[in-house]
């Protein structure tokens, strides 16, 4: 019996896929189809797959062409599969010519001609109207955001506005965007806007954008007060618009996986979450704006693992603050929960080890610095030989993952709401508000 194997994502299964499967089957007697797992696709930068692995497998099964369906989960698996299943022929479409020649050492490799005029990418584009993104703020951060947005299909960064006309013109030239001379013009050109500014300006930009009918993705923290949060969510709901907080850490493949592992009990009950984040900016004038200080800058990121792992119902909170001339350099906070404690250090203009340690009753998780953009973590136990190491590749700057979630939410995927809840955002706002009101202990 001649065994043939082929691989693909098979998102929104189309006639090009079916033609390929038929031709692949005709190369032998038995066809194995490898369907890529969600995390494998994300890891190789294919970010916009619309269907879940289960749905894609089901679609391939329903063609009735495959004799066996397997899941492709990791790089290098093809060699393993070929040997394990005793495969005679490996085949894929002609878009991959040359790419799999290294498998000739293990079996015959055949590239089949691809069907013209159809692809999953094309179907995805047709299915979801393109979202035109406008950018508020001409900075190096927004430039990175625009670059990352180019990796997410279904959205195109088109226009920019900044209060400084010179910077705005320069930015528009550099990033090849339309330059808007007013916010109104930017909103008129856009379906969604990205807001990057100091936190005290967020609310005004967010409300203006929502009022103008634009979805919003805004840097953290979204708001300074709970009233602001309520008013902005009420307006977003009334208008049927997405208001998304850009916490890129949350969407990093490693971070998401870490939360799932902890929930499944790998370290027992979580008793302590301890995180630290700090940065000394290059700009010597960084202390000029108090809203760039420790907790304004890091609050959301530092608090999220604590709230995600220990819940939003803390019983008590203490914040110790090192301030000079109205600028906060370092905040150390402790949150007390029923049966657990969370603590954070947030520094701007001071430096510390940016690690995260999650302490459990049977083991702990160690995430090395910088934990908020990590690809790597370890689960450690009393017996060090039981240490498990996890690595999840993040492509580029990592912002593409949050942009992808933003696009998915605009396109009506609900999952995101449950992963980053309004309750969590409200709690972070509550703590930022306390900090802003000066309910801190000076050190
Ligand atoms: N394929 C094909 N003809 C097409 C599209 C895909 O023969 N018009 C083949 C690919 O060469 C591959 C298999 O079908 O061997 C699965 O491809 P996949 O990447 O899942 O589909 P695409 O439509 O190419 O997806 P995308 O647009 O996301 O790259």
Residue in 4, 8, 23, 45 to alter for ligand 1 test, most ligand atoms within 8 A of Cβ:
8
Residue 42 scores a pLDDT above 80: no
Pocket test for ligand 1, best of 5, 6, 9, 15 (most atoms within 8 A of CB): 9
CA–centroid distance, residue 9 to ligand 1 (Å): 8
Whether 10 is in the pocket of ligand 1, judged by its Cβ within 6 Å, is yes
Q: What is the 3-state secondary structure (H, E, C) of the chain?
A: CCEEEEEECCCCCCHHHHHHHHHHHHCCCEEEEEEECHHHHHHCCCCCCCCCHHHHHHHHHHHCCCCEEEEECCCCHHHHHHHHHCCCEEEEEHHHCCCCHHHHHCCEEEEECCCCCCCHHHHHHHHCCCEEEEEECCCHHHHHHHHHHCCCCCEEEEEEECCCHHHHHHHHHHHCCEECCCHHHHHHHCCEEEECCCHHHHHHHHHHHHHCCCEEEECCCCCCCHHHHHHHHHHHHHHCCCEEECCHHHHCHHHHHHHHHHHCCCCCCEEEEEEEEEECCCCCCCCCCHHHCHHHHHHHHHHHHHHHHHCCCCCEEEEEEEEECCEEEEEEEEEEECCEEEEEEEEECCCCCCCEEEEECCCEEEECCCHHHCCEEEEECCCHHHCEEEECCCCCCCHHHHHHHHHHHHCCCCHHHHHCCHHHHHHHHHHHHHHHCCCCEEC
What's this model's pTM, rounded to 2 decimal places?
Answer: 0.82
Q: Give 271-326 pLDDT, tens digit per residue.
A: 999 999 999 999 999 999 999 999 999 999 999 999 999 999 999 999 999 999 99
Q: pLDDT tens for residues 328-339?
A: 999 999 999 999
Q: Which atom of ligand 1 is nearest to the CA of 9?
A: 20
73-103 tens-digit pLDDT? 988 999 999 999 999 999 999 999 999 999 9
Q: Is the CB of 276 under 6 A from ligand 1?
A: no
Least-confidence region, from 39-48, 113-122, 291-300, 400-409: 39-48
Our answer on whether the CB atom of 9 is closer than 6 Å to any ligand 1 atom is yes
Pick the residue whose CA is nearest to atom 7 on ligand 1: 114
Instruction: Indicate whether 348 pLDDT > 70.
Output: yes
The answer, yes or no, to whether any atom of ligand 1 lies below 6 A from the CB of 34, is no
pLDDT attached to residue 52: 87
Which pLDDT belongs to residue 414? 60
Q: What confidence score (pLDDT) does residue 111 get?
A: 98
At 303-318, the pLDDT tens digits run 999 999 999 999 999 9
């Amino acid at each position: 019996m001649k065994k043939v194997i082929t691989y693909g994502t098979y998102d929104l299964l189309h006639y090009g896929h079916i033609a390929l499967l038929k031709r692949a089957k005709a190369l032998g007697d038995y066809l194995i189809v490898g369907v890529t797992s969600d995390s494998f696709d994300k890891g190789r930068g294919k970010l916009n797959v619309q269907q879940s692995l289960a749905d894609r497998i089901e679609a391939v099964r329903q063609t009735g062409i495959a004799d066996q369906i397997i899941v492709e989960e990791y790089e290098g698996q093809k060699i393993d599969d070929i040997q394990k299943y005793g495969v005679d022929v490996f085949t894929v479409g002609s878009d991959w010519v040359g790419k799999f020649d290294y498998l000739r050492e293990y079996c015959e490799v055949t590239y089949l001609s691809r069907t013209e005029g159809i692809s999953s990418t094309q179907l995805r584009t047709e299915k979801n109207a393109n979202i035109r993104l406008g950018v508020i703020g001409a900075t190096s951060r927004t430039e990175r955001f625009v670059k990352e947005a180019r990796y997410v299909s279904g959205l195109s960064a088109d226009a920019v506005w900044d209060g400084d006309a010179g910077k705005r013109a320069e930015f528009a030239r550099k990033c090849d965007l339309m330059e808007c001379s007013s916010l109104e013009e930017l909103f008129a050109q856009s379906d969604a806007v990205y807001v990057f500014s100091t936190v005290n300006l967020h609310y005004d930009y967010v409300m203006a954008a929502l009022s103008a009918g634009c979805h919003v993705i805004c840097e953290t923290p979204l708001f300074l007060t709970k009233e602001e949060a309520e008013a902005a969510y009420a307006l977003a709901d009334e208008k049927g618009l997405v208001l998304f907080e850009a916490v890129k850490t949350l969407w990093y493949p490693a971070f998401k996986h870490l939360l799932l592992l902890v929930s499944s009990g790998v370290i027992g009950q979580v008793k302590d979450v301890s995180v630290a984040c700090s940065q000394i900016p290059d700009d010597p004038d960084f202390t000029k704006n108090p809203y760039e200080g420790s907790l304004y800058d890091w609050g959301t990121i530092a608090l999220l693992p604590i709230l995600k792992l220990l819940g939003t119902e803390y019983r008590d909170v203490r914040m110790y603050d090192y301030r000079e001339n109205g600028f906060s350099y370092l905040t150390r906070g402790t949150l007390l929960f029923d049966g657990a404690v969370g603590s954070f250090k947030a520094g701007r203009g001071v430096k510390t080890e940016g690690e995260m340690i999650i302490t459990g009753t049977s083991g702990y998780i160690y995430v090395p610095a910088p934990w908020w953009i990590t690809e790597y973590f370890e689960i450690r136990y009393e017996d060090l030989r039981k240490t498990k190491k996890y690595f999840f590749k993040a492509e580029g700057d990592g912002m593409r993952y949050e942009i992808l979630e933003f696009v998915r939410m605009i396109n009506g995927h609900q999952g995101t709401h449950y992963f980053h809840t309004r309750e969590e955002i409200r709690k972070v706002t509550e703590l930022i508000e306390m900090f802003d009101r000066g309910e801190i202990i000076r050190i």
